[in-house]
Amino acid sequence: MLLRTALILCHHQAEAEDVSQEALLKAFKAIDQLRADEDPRPWLLTILRHVRIDRIRSAASKHVAVSLDGAEFDPADEETVIAGDAETWADPEAMLQQFSNAQILSALQALPMDIRWTLLLVDVEGIDQQDAAAVLDVPLGTVKSRTSRGRAMLRKVLLPLAKDLRMIS
């Protein structure tokens, strides 16, 4: 689960493996903090998230900052995407089954990091939204908003591909 999540978050296999391994080492060192009655997935994903953030911060001191003003996605576009293509996505689960894993991973990697994290936790890993909020250290409402916005963004990315593959007209 950790490696799968790290592969989606990182753009290189080696980096994903390093992040996963570091997260597992930190989890092993802190295993006494995990309660016996607690689901370990949110706990492990929180550790993975912190490792990834630490690595990004470390790398940021070596790279030039990039403005988010030029981001491809604008949350204001969400209503347009949903309204314009709602009939196309009547059964989103069946629609997603028609895409390859590589196509879905590529679409996920096109999303902003906080949206990607939220979708990974809620939709890919099936973690409860309350637990996802704890992992991401944000309010529950933020998780709900990001999930909705992220799904709309994912539809926007996958729609042209679905048309190209003649899944929809």
pTM of the model: 0.59
Residue % of the chain over a pLDDT of 70: 77
pLDDT digits (tens, 9 = 90+) for 84-131: 444 555 566 666 777 787 788 888 888 998 999 899 889 888 889 999
Task: Mean pLDDT check: name the lowest of 44-48, 50-54, 127-131, 163-167.
Answer: 163-167
| pLDDT on residue 98 | 78
Q: Delineate the domains of the chain, giving CATH numbers in brackets.
A: 1-65 (1.10.1740), 72-169 (1.10.10.10)
64-77 per-position pLDDT tens digit: 555 555 555 554 44
What's the rounded Cα separation, in Å, for the pair 77 and 128? 27
pLDDT of residue 79: 45
| pLDDT above 90: residue 147 | yes
pLDDT band of 62, cuts 50, 70, 90: low
C-alpha closest to that of 125 among 43, 52, 13: 43
Amino acid letter for position 72: E
Residue 87 Cα distances to 41, 117, 151, angstroms: 35, 27, 15
State whether residue 71 is helix, strand or coil.
Answer: coil
pLDDT at 97: 73
pLDDT at site 20: 93
pLDDT of the residue at 118: 92
